[in-house]
Structure 1
């Protein structure tokens, strides 16, 4: 087996696109720095699958939910590309079959907390997604009891929209009701 050649410089968007395909880990690009983390564990993936189904069944036809898709927060050098657990965009965006989506097209980002991602999800991504202008951001915590903290962008900052370990009921990006108790069932 050959040695892995890791970048020794800040990556541009072109460098990111030129990286070889590798599904062995989870990759993101933060201000030009390649960040690598292990794939999520079973409960994390199960919760994403269940949440994807709940969102898909409740979103209006003009909105679509997509799992683990590249989101360009900044394409100026050095770029930032996150790969959230779920994102919601207008159906028209998905119809173009893009290789990644731009922050201005995203209505909701959902991150499920993993071991090692708590601060990243609650601090770094919270600030990055707000700065990028994404209207809604949910953080799902699978530690018992399963809970969600939903933020809504108001005047450039996220404000708490809802926080529950029961049924999440929100009106943006569409009227949605998610029973958190069923995410790991």
Structure 2
């Protein structure tokens, strides 16, 4: 989710900062907690319909171009692996990830979250209230987690995509913003038509 997350009271009788395992054990709750930042539960507002439509169409475009060992997954928790197993943890739920199929299957079979080490690309769709979260906070967290590629999709006109790639020791390096139909060389050759995301 990319709407601005809000810290929330912890009515689930949580009286301490959560580890990723404790967060995962909560499962889906009626309170709508969807992310964990330094052990604190976050509850982002529900995304606007345009977010969900864009995410669906972008997932379709990606799915048709992925190598067999990769899979695109929408709206899924990932363990950023930024803390030890007994420490307050970090988990984000981006709009889309491209991950190793073996890692996704491993997470499914174990009941654990998908690990950052199995994620090749993470994608967030910006809303007006999430711009700083997506371009600064998550930009830093995903880089610290070692995820090789991060795309920031901005739906405001003209719709655009900023592709970031990990430069060891420097964090993410942002490529120039692109719009319309574009070919991206990384993480493998991909053709994306941003104009089709609002159909």
- Give me the TM-score of the superposition, normalised by structure 2: 0.84
* Residue 184 (structure 1) aligned with residue 198 (structure 2): yes
Name whichever of 36-45 and 159-168 sits farther off: 159-168
Q: Greater shift after overlay, 63-72 or 156-165?
A: 156-165
Contact 1:28 1:82 in 2 (8 A): yes
Instruction: Assess if the C-alpha contact under 8 Å between 1:25 and 1:39 holds in 2.
Output: no
- Worse overlay, 164-173 or 175-184: 164-173
- Structure 2 partner of 1:146: 159
Give the CA deviation at 1:10: 1.2
CA contact (8 A) 2:20 2:79 kept: no
Q: Do 1:72 and 1:100's aligned partners in 2 also have CA atoms closer than 8 Å?
A: yes
- Measure the CA separation in 1 of the matches of 2:68 and 2:27: 35
Flag structure 2 segments of 5+ consecutive residues without an equivalent: 1-9
The structure 2 residue matched to 1:127, chosen from 134, 137, 140, is: 140
Matched, 1:168 2:168: no
Residue 35 of structure 1, aligned match among 42, 45, 53:
42
SS in 2 for 1:58: coil
> How far apart in 2 are the matches of 1:10 and 1:168?
43
SS in 2 for 1:89: strand
Counterpart of 2:158 in 1: which secondary structure? coil
1:90 is matched with: 100
Say which of 117, 130, 134 aligns to 2:130.
Answer: 117
- Which residue in 2 is equivalent to 1:56? 63
Displacement after TM superposition at 1:115 (Å): 3.5
Q: Which structure has the highest strand share of the two?
A: 1
What runs of 5+ residues in structure 1 fail to find an aligned partner?
Answer: none
When normalised by structure 1's length, the TM-score is: 0.90
What residue is the counterpart of 1:102 in the other structure? 115
Distance of 1:25 and 1:146 partners within structure 2? 29
Structure 1 SS opposite 2:67: coil
Number of residue pairs aligned between Structure 1 and Structure 2: 182
Q: Which runs of 4 or more aligned residues in structure 1 lie more than 4 Å from their structure 2 counterparts after TM superposition?
A: none
Q: Which has the higher contact order (CA 8 A, sep 6+)?
A: 2
Q: Please report the RMSD computed on the Cα atoms of aligned residues, expressed in angstroms.
A: 1.8
Contact 1:26–1:38, Cα closer than 8 Å, also in 2: no
Assess if the C-alpha contact under 8 Å between 2:24 and 2:113 holds in 1: no
